[in-house]
């Protein structure tokens, strides 16, 4: 509890804005891990051979921006191929690039296409373009009701868990799973994990605890705020964030608050650590309610792992509709 108190004191000036009625993109405070410089990074070159420099690309529009930088839709002039280009200013995103470079291709993770070192301290991260935008935007557009059906969510659960399985078997923790970081391919309606800005590789050492104290406060699990009370399992934090995200796209609002309600980050951290986790309303199916409970156990021993969840009856529903 002392650590939680210390972290809360450190963050007293933070203000969290959560999803609210005017449906603007939620701007949520983030905690960043300590950055480190990896000498191997300079060896990672552009993997998409044709795109050698920024001049090869034409900026078409701004797709979004966040604490990590601005993301543009760009067109490769020679081939007309479309990409997303994340331009990071002020500080080399070594950690993000290292993670992206070490994740092999997966149909459930936004593809990494290379690095463009630019002038004036800017770095461009070239990514697969996801034409359907993020899950939180889709939900805002769906029938005006802000929610997705259970069948759609089961399919998304299968896809995101498959992506997390790919990461976790490589000892990578995403640390920032939330609807805004789950991107959609419009043609297939497949969902892929994006934004490795605070992700990290864990080694099983004590350092892991501080490395994974990163991400968007609202989606952080109790043990990431207060490992002394709740224990430490870096991978389990991604499961909690996924459960909360899938619950949000079903009920249409951030589960710890009422629709339209806002909260200070300190109040929210206390709520997450001290109160019972949220659960789905009774009209949700038994399978779905059980799946969310399995993701949102505060007790780490009871929270299911990604590999267990991949065989949960709710996820098996999504797996069969995915094939």
Ligand X SMILES: Nc1ncnc2c1ncn2[C@@H]1O[C@H](COP(=O)(O)OP(=O)(O)OP(=O)(O)O)[C@@H](O)[C@H]1O
Q: Mind telling me the catalytic residues?
A: 176
Distance CA 289, CA 281 (A): 8
State whether residue 219 is helix, strand or coil: helix
Distance CA 271, CA 250 (A): 21
State whether residue 150 is helix, strand or coil: helix
Exposure class string for 115-140: b at 16+ Cβ within 10 A, else e: bbeeeeebbbbbbbbbebbbbbbbbb
Chain residues binding ligand X by CB under 6 A are 30, 63-69, 71, 84, 86, 110, 127-130, 133-134, 180-181, 183, 194-195, 197
140 annotated ligand binder:
no
Q: Under 8 Å CB-to-CB from 129, ≥6 apart: which residues? A: 73, 82, 83, 84
Give the CA distances from residue 142 to residues 18, 132, 185, 188, in Å, rounded to whole numbers and listed in that order: 19, 13, 16, 17
Q: Which residue is nearest to ligand X (CB)?
A: 66
CB contact at 8 A, 113 and 47: yes
Return the CA Rg of the chain: 19
Question: Which residue lies nearer to ligand X by CB, 88 or 300?
Answer: 88
Question: Which residue lies nearer to ligand X by CB, 8 or 87?
Answer: 87
Query: Strands, E, within the chain: which ranges?
Result: 30-31, 57-66, 69-76, 82-88, 112-117, 123-128, 172-173, 182-185, 190-193, 200-201, 215-216
Residue 109 DSSP symbol? B
Return binding residues for ATP.
86
């Amino acid at each position: 509890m002392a650590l939680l108190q210390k972290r809360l004191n450190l963050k007293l000036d933070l203000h969290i804005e959560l999803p609210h009625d005017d449906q603007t993109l939620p701007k949520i405070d983030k905690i960043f891990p300590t950055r480190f410089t990896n000498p191997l990074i300079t060896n990672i070159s552009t993997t998409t051979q044709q795109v050698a420099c920024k001049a090869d690309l034409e900026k078409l529009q701004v797709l979004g921006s966040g604490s990590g930088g601005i993301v543009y839709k760009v067109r490769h002039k020679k081939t007309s191929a479309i990409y997303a280009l994340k331009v990071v200013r002020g500080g080399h995103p070594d950690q993000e690039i290292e993670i992206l470079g070490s994740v092999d291709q997966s149909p459930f993770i936004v593809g990494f296409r290379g690095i463009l070192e630019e002038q004036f301290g800017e770095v461009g991260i070239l990514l697969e373009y996801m034409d359907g935008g993020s899950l939180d935007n889709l939900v805002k557009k769906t029938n005006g009701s802000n929610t997705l059906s259970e069948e759609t969510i089961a399919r998304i659960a299968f896809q995101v868990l498959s992506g997390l399985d790919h990461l976790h078997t490589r000892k990578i923790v995403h640390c920032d799973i939330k609807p805004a970081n789950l991107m959609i391919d419009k043609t297939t309606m497949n969902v892929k994990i994006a934004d490795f800005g605070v992700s990290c590789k864990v080694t099983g050492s004590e350092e892991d605890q501080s490395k994974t104290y990163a991400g968007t406060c609202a989606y952080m699990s109790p043990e990431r705020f207060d490992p002394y009370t709740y224990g430490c399992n870096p991978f389990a934090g991604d499961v909690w964030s996924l459960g909360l995200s899938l619950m949000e796209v079903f009920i249409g609002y951030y589960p710890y608050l009422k629709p339209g309600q806002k909260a200070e980050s300190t109040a929210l951290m206390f709520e997450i650590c001290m109160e019972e986790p949220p659960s789905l309303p009774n009209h949700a199916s038994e399978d779905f309610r059980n799946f969310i409970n399995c993701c949102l156990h505060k007790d780490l021993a009871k929270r299911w792992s990604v590999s267990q969840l991949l065989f949960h009856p709710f996820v098996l529903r999504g797996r069969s509709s995915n094939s």
